[in-house]
Amino acid sequence: MSATRTGRKPPRVGDAPVFRRLLIGIVLVFVALLILAPLVIIGVEAFSKGWAVYRDTILHPDTQHAIMLTVLAALIAVPVNTAFGVAAAWAITKFDFRGRRFLLVVIEIPFSVSPIVAGVAYLFVYGLQGIFGPTLDAWDIKILFAIPGIILASMFVTAPFVARELIPLMQAQGRDLEEAATSLGASGWRTFLSVTLPNIKWALLYGVVLCNARVMGEFGAVSVVSGNIRGQTNTLPLHIELLYHDYQAAGAFASASILALIAVFTIIAKVALERQGAGRVRASDPSAANPAEKAL
Amino acid sequence: MKIRLDHVVKTFETFRAVKDVSLEIESGELVALLGPSGSGKTTILRMVAGLEYSDGGQIYFGDQDATDIPVRDRGVGFVFQHYALFPHMTVAENIAFGMKVSKVKREKAAIEARVAELLRLVRLENLGGRFPAQISGGQRQRVALARALAVDPKVLLLDEPFGALDANVRRDLRRWLREIHSELGITTLFVTHDQEEALDLADRVVILKDGQIVQQGTPQEVCRDPKSAFVMKFLGDANVIAAEVRDGKAYASGATIAVSGLADGKAELYARPADLDWSLQGPGIPASITRVLDRPDGRRVLATVETGEHLEFDVEPERAVKAGDGGFVTLRRAKVFAIG
Amino acid sequence: MRRNVLPGLRLSLGVTLFYVGLIVVLPIAALVFKAASLGPEDYWRIVSSARALASYRVTVLAALGATLFNLFFGLALAWVLVRYRFPGWRLVDAMVDLPFALPTAVAGISLTALFTANGWFGSILADFGIKVAYTPLGIMIAMCFTSLPFIVRTVQPVLEDLDPALEEAAQSLGGSDFAIFRKVILPLLTPALLAGVSLSFARCLGEFGAIIFIAGNQPMSTEITALLIFIRLEEYDYPAAAAIASVLLITALVMLALTNWMQSRALRYTVRS
């Protein structure tokens, strides 16, 4: 008698078998239709004209240039935003100063602003219509419709990524360790490198991975400031649009498959980092979903 | 409502939390399940409630087999260790919850009247509109009790009811819970790891160890006649002296005590601090005082026996003893248990 | 106020303020300045032109529809991921982040491919007379896709951390599953749901890349506000672009403030024993 009863649990809310199966079924269908299908069709469409067309698209000089430009943008924007994220997290979590909370909200702004608005805003700084435009033009420095503009726009869009991963975590960890290290005579850099960094490395990497994915995929802001010059200022997402509107759907999807692959790797890296504990502070604490709340 | 557990077994993963426990709780009785952590006491309580299902054995409420009745139909009132008050409801709404969701429809006015009555019972008349986050721990405890009582449970179950409170509040609430029990006469089972709480409050104490009942009885029975070294130690401070049993007598470095039912061989002699006394002449256990701790109700003496064992006992406040004194420890009474 | 004993305040705060100033505040200030230099009459004429109003209408309506869908689907998905274990749940959990990770332009072309009249879904829907691609419905579906993770990811942790004793208490008091969900679980999830809704809605309003491929981009009917800004830029009508962009900017800032406020409300019940 006892053997058959082992492991029985009283039902929790929603554990009725019919309801449970129905709900899982509905959710899985929608996940398949809304999330899985768009991913699958990229592969299907990319190879719809055969392997040769796929290879030719990827190897085409314009595609190659777009890939290079996308990688270049990431190579600059990601490290800069990482350095900024660490500095911001250190300032906000290790010190008390007036306006800390306000600063947190300002850092979050790029997340809520439409990328198109961001692009337009940059136009009014560096464009001919903008604040610095005439001066830059006089000195013959090209920022807009050139690579610097693309990188600046990418930096705006992804500015909060690293900071928002680090701030809740460093807030939760407090200042005791750093204060102990300082009291033992360690310098600021030494304290950061040997005490703080080991505790935040996974969260830092997590932020870097998400930041990188967004830089490489940014479309709206970049399309405003890039000028869309084929073979010159086209990043991969812009190149996709160009091919798509040129009625080269297979080529567009072939280029898209590269970005889709990056997205899949991003998710794999994300899951792996979450196993190391990254992203957890936020997961267990609703207040940390927005660092502004944690810092109070 | 009488509760009966019949050979109840519960296993978590591979860990046997409760091993073959049989227990009867008479109607109207107030019973404590007492044991250290991991002794299975909370698991037993949760099985009685229907919050866990047993893997073997039956649980009867009166003559009805309640083993498979889901918690919502079992008619128990459960007070959770951390109260589990609904944080988004006021105190009054918390208390009214059970009546509102009940299959038995009640008039709004009837619910309000009952809530007011319960608030009076738990002496929180003016706090009905507060949220749980706005009241103290002791007040939350009382709200949790009122909420459990609101559905007129057949049985009241409390999990470490005073565990999260500080010492003074605990003592007050203990007396008060006893009063409520006398007033309502509801069969009550509570879990605690605090022996003082169990002895103060319960009609009967059930002592558990490693998922099994090791002894049960009234506070007087378990205190006066502990059946094992575990119970002796668990119920309060005890001195342990190595002893040897020969022909119905236990010999421990200078002291002798009559025992019955023990085979010859090595044993341990257990004595409470109040069971020992100090004298300058023998017979007794030769010892020297290492420290004297002064306390409001007397003096606690720490002494070392020649064999190296440490003893603690209490003497009257007037007694002049000091560290370094030599003398003899005498036994007023003691318990002897065979080793192993 | 604690005294600062740690080193690096000047450096880290200096870097932070410089960077935020240069990258975030300066462009936004420039945009506001540009829009403000228009003068109230011109500004009002631009932002209330028939074409702009039509773009707000389709954007807001599609965003509302998408957010409403995500409210139910996101809650159901979070519930399934937290409460049930089934083969592949880890995969589903990971896949929820795909809309965040997949570039919007890629999402745009693949959703379009699925929903055009000869696409996998579009051809089936066409049999029922439903047109998705190049209609407001397509805009809504693109919005659903890009904003789906917000509600799931705000509700999921709160649901995970919900004290099981609350549910047990409600059960011991005789509550049915439905009553417990409605009276205990749902109210405790509401702050997280609202925060997710506002994040999701804000994202929908600003979305561009995923939408322009699937929307027909017809003025007055399927032209979203972000696209109208883009078109004004291409026409070198910078004042109009600035004015309409300022409308989106203000909406975004209001949504940000609202989200912050809602999340501080989400903390209301977190006083635990």
What is the value of pTM for the model shown? 0.89
Q: Which of A101, A124, A212 to mutate to test the interface with C (most CBs of C within 10 A)?
A: A124
Q: How far is CA B318 from CA B282, B284, B304, C133, in A?
A: 21, 22, 22, 97
* DSSP 8-class letter at B290: E
Closest to C114 (Cβ–Cβ): which among A24, A37, A152? A37
Q: Give the confidence band of C266 by pLDDT, cuts at 50, 70, 90.
A: low
Question: How many whole angstroms separate alpha carbon A177 and alpha carbon A188?
Answer: 12
Going edge to edge, which strands form the sheet with B187-192?
Answer: B76-79, B155-159, B187-192, B30-34, B204-209, B212-217
Does residue C273 sit at the B interface (CB-CB below 8 Å)? yes
Res A230: pLDDT: 66
**A278 pLDDT higher than 50:** yes
Contact A5 B56 (CB under 8 A): yes
Question: How many whole angstroms separate alpha carbon A190 and alpha carbon B187?
Answer: 64
Name every residue whose Cβ is closer than 8 Å to that of residue A276 and which is 6 or more positions away in sequence.
A202
Question: How many whole angstroms separate alpha carbon C115 and alpha carbon A62?
Answer: 29
From chain B, pick out residues whose CB is under 8 angstroms from the CB of C187.
88
Q: Which of C167, C173, C183 to mutate to test the interface with B (most CBs of B within 10 A)?
A: C173
Both A197 and A283 in a single domain? yes
Question: How many whole angstroms separate alpha carbon B177 and alpha carbon B182?
Answer: 9
Res C3: pLDDT: 57
Both A23 and A112 in a single domain? no
Buried b / exposed e along B314-336 (16+ C-beta atoms within 10 A): bbeeeeeeeeebebbbbbeebbb
Contact B53 A9 (CB under 8 A): yes
Both A42 and A132 in a single domain? no
CA distance, residue B47 to nearest chain C CA (Å): 12
Closest to A10 (Cβ–Cβ): which among B51, B55, B56? B51
Both A38 and A89 in a single domain? no
Q: Tell me which residue range forms the domain holding A5.
A: 1-46
Which helix (H) or strand (E) covers residue A154, if one does?
helix A147-158
Q: Give the confidence band of C128 by pLDDT, cuts at 50, 70, 90.
A: very high
**A296 pLDDT higher than 90:** no
β-pairing, B255-258 vs B56-61, is unpaired
Least Cα distance to C140 among C220, C243, C46, C215 occurs for: C215
Q: Which of A112, A123, A183, A238 to mutate to test the interface with C (most CBs of C within 10 A)?
A: A112
Both A78 and A210 in a single domain? yes
| Residue B288 three-state SS | strand
Using CB atoms and an 8 Å cut-off, which of residues 229-258 of chain C contact chain A? 229-230, 233, 238, 241-242, 245, 248-249, 252-253, 255-257
Q: For residue range C43-70, what is the model confidence (pLDDT) as tens digits?
A: 999 999 999 999 999 999 999 999 999 9
Name every residue whose Cβ is closer than 8 Å to that of residue B51 and which is 6 or more positions away in sequence.
A10, B71, B78, C168, C171, C172
Contact B56 A11 (CB under 8 A): no
Question: How many whole angstroms separate alpha carbon A228 and alpha carbon C235?
Answer: 15
Which residue carries 């998922």 as its tokens?
Answer: B211
Question: How many whole angstroms separate alpha carbon C119 and alpha carbon C112?
Answer: 8
Residue C88 phi, psi (nearest 5): 90, 10
Q: For residue range B36-91, what is the model confidence (pLDDT) as tens digits?
A: 998 999 999 999 999 999 999 999 999 999 998 999 999 999 999 999 999 999 99
Both A104 and A204 in a single domain? yes
Both A225 and A247 in a single domain? yes
Per DSSP, the residues of B160-171 read STTTTS-HHHHH
**C269 pLDDT higher than 60:** no
Closest to B56 (Cβ–Cβ): which among A2, A10, A11? A2
Contact A8 B55 (CB under 8 A): yes
Contact between residue A146 and residue A73 where contact means Cβ atoms under 8 Å apart:
no
Span of C20-24, C27-31, C215-219 with lowest mean pLDDT: C215-219
**A291 pLDDT higher than 60:** no
What is the rounded average pLDDT for all residues in chain C?
91
List the Cα angle B99/B100/B103 in 5-degree steps.
Answer: 80
Both A32 and A63 in a single domain? no
From chain A, pick out residues whose CB is under 8 angstroms from the CB of B50.
10
Does residue C142 sit at the A interface (CB-CB below 8 Å)? no
What is the rounded average pLDDT for all residues in chain A?
87
Least Cα distance to B51 among B23, B29, B79 occurs for: B79
Q: Which residues are bridge partners to B270 per DSSP?
A: B240, B335
- Give how many domains chain A has, as a whole number: 2
Report domain extents, chain C. Answer: 40-267
Closest to C165 (Cβ–Cβ): which among B72, B80, B103? B80
Touching subunits for chain A (3+ Cβ pairs under 8 A)? B, C
Buried b / exposed e along B279-302 (16+ C-beta atoms within 10 A): eeeeebbbbebeebeeeeebbbbe
Residues of chain B with pLDDT under 50: none
Touching subunits for chain B (3+ Cβ pairs under 8 A)? A, C
Q: For residue range A214-255, what is the model confidence (pLDDT) as tens digits?
A: 999 999 999 999 876 666 788 999 999 999 999 889 999 999
Contact between residue C233 and residue A224 where contact means Cβ atoms under 8 Å apart:
yes
Torsion angle (degrees, nearest 10) of CA A85, A87, A92, A97: -140
Least Cα distance to A235 among A264, A209, A255, A262 occurs for: A255
Both A232 and A114 in a single domain? yes
CATH code, A180: 1.10.3720.10
- What ipTM does the predicted assembly reach? 0.89
* Amino acid of residue B124: L
Both A14 and A61 in a single domain? no
Res B225: pLDDT: 93
Architecture of the structural domain at C40-267: Orthogonal Bundle (1.10)
High-pLDDT (> 70) share of chain A, % = 91
CA distance, residue C250 to nearest chain A CA (Å): 9
Both A74 and A174 in a single domain? yes
What is the rounded average pLDDT for all residues in chain B?
92
Q: What are the structural domains, with CATH classification, of chain B?
A: 3-231 (3.40.50.300), 237-338 (2.40.50.140)
β-pairing, B265-271 vs B239-246, is antiparallel
The residue-averaged pLDDT of C113-121 equals: 93
Both A28 and A100 in a single domain? no
